[in-house]
A and B are shown apart, each in its own frame.
Chain A
Amino acid sequence: NAGVMQNPRHLVRRRGQEARLRCSPMKGHSHVYWYRQLPEEGLKFMVYLQKENIIDESGMPKERFSAEFPKEGPSILRIQQVVRGDSAAYFCASLTGGRNNEQFFGPGTRLTVL
């Protein structure tokens, strides 16, 4: 997973602030997934994006959360007006596309909401 970059690795926000999480996929990968992992729990799917398109956002909360993957630059997961329950590790994974292709995970961003 060394090729997928996420930043910041750790992010602390106060309730009501905005959190912006960035994911740079591996070179040549045009698909990105975002997952959330609460403490002591498994990864939960949030959103699946291709360049400039949201393919599946069925796992994303309908309010305060948004994601984009622009033509140029990293994928961004934005959480507005954060609450304590948003504290979690957020992982992105990239792949070239194709149903059997491996998802390569980034190291995650650990968000703490005070």
Chain B
Amino acid sequence: KNQVEQSPQSLIILEGKNCTLQCNYTVSPFSNLRWYKQDTGRGPVSLTIMTFSENTKSNGRYTATLDADTKQSSLHITASQLSDSASYICVVNTNAGKSTFGDGTTLTVKP
């Protein structure tokens, strides 16, 4: 059964600090992995996409990594801002276009 597990479930950090969110998956056949940011009351917005051959990709203060051998991904947020408070969702897609969503990590950035 395809599964995506994210950790931690929730995280509280102070503004300006860094943090790393984890995503482990058992999805096959793997096509790509996306990290989404979902602000409260809104739909998710894509941050990064990782394909099989990519190990790391950055989007501003967000850096995603992928280890396809261990089936793990991480999302690192640098110099956090209050506006980073949101739910971060890891989504793994198969070649057939089927998406498996993680339950998300709720990040709270405090001043």
Contact = CB atoms under 8 A, between A and B. Distances in A.
A105 B46 CA distance: 9
Q: Is the interface of B mostly helix, strand, loop or mixed?
A: strand
Interface residues of B, number: 24
Contact of B101 (A1, A43, A48): A43
Interface of B: 31-32, 34, 41-46, 49, 51, 89, 93-104
Given A42-B101, A43-B44, A93-B43, 5 more contacts: A56-B98, A99-B31, A99-B97, A100-B49, A108-B42
A96 to B, nearest CB: 12
Contacts of A4: 43
A103 interface: yes
Chain A CB count within 10 A is highest, among B32, B98, B100, for B98
Interface residues of A, number: 21
Nearest to A110: B41
A45 B102 CA distance: 11
B42 A1 contact: yes
B99 A1 contact: no
B93 A102 contact: no
B42 A33 contact: no
B101 A106 contact: no
B31 A1 contact: no
Interface in A18-62: 33, 35, 41-45, 48, 56
Contacts of B31: 99-100
A42 B89 CA distance: 8
B18 to A, nearest CB: 24
Given A42-B102, A44-B101, A99 B32 contact: yes
Contacts of B42: 1, 107-108
A42 B104 CA distance: 6
Contacts of A107: 41-43
B101 A108 contact: no
Contacts of B96: 99
